[in-house]
Structure 1
Amino acid sequence: MLLADVPLDPGRDEARDAAVRELSDPAYADAGPNALEQAVNWVLERLGSVLAGLGAGVVTPVAMILLLVVLVALVLIIRYWRGRAVRNVASIRNVFDRKDTTADEHRRAAQEAAAAGEFAEAIRERFRALVRELEQRGVLEPRAGRTVDEVALEAGRALPALADDLRGAAVSFDDVWYGGRTATSERYEELVSVDDRVRV
């Protein structure tokens, strides 16, 4: 009886309704290309059009300009991502690299960098001072390879009253050194305030 109700040849409206129901399944939305993939596909399509024009012997100034723009954009994107990766690796290696430097020496280096307007370096040095202070006071065990987030987590467990401040300092450091955010005097002063509270 149920099979008799299903049309073998659905009409246009029935077919459209069935297609809408099927395509409204969330699985189809998840399978679609994301914004980056769509942008890359668009660029590749434009590049393909230009190359097709070149292959046919039709070289127009617009085609040459478009090809040049695409190539420059690709080079800039590759350099940006490669530079970011190199910077991240270098900064990971250099966050806590000198065990012989005291917290006060890191603070002086931070103040000098801030005075010169080099706030990214000032933030790094002040965070180093904060970590060294925690190590000198026995709050943290000196350990090579500790990440900024691990500092905040471990020190926050030992000093629960400062856990939020330490997490905020780690986020600020991450934003500047790993996230590419602009280092500002305000970010630096926030870190100074956290370091001062740790010292007290």
Structure 2
Amino acid sequence: MQRFQEQLKGAAAGDEVALNTLFERFYPVVQTMVHRRLAIELRAKRPWLLARFSTGDVVQEVFRSALRDLRAFSGNSEDAFAGYLAMIVRNRIVDSIRFHHASQRDRRKAVDENEAELRVSGEEDPSDSMEFDEEVGRYRAALETFEERERLLLRARFEKTHSFDALAEALGYSSPYAARRAFFKAQAILTQRLEHR
């Protein structure tokens, strides 16, 4: 555990050897996580999106994100770091799926009005959908202003994917209470940033 903490500190300080060691140690772990998550999210539920995803690309994006904001991780064990990476994996894949669904929806908007009416009959008003998309865009832009740790915390609670106990462990908070306090603080800042956009 001591060695891992030293590697983590070195990597956060930009030490190339420590960064490479972390990358080599966790690459197979992240690759397995991504492969499993893609199997759950795509092969079973959305097979038409499979061609748009590459396990290697997602793994690289996860590492870019994790290593860019390494100082945001305050856990002290390999298990906690793996949990942190798992949350990034989940969020990256969910974001990518949403992006591909949005681009598919944008292409459908180009279809002539008669066909569009047939497709949306019985569904919500398209102007409501556009307003919702704008709100989601504002939310995502505001969320991007946070460090990775806070983004993961906010998303996990808003999407109800993790308890505060799990977040304390995965994100390196000292207790579930500390994770809860950090969430409410970040939520208040997010609300303030959304009001100013």
TM over 0.5, yes or no?
no
**Larger proportion of helix:** 2
TM-score by structure 2 length?
0.26
Q: Which has the larger radius of gyration?
A: 1
TM-score by structure 1 length?
0.25
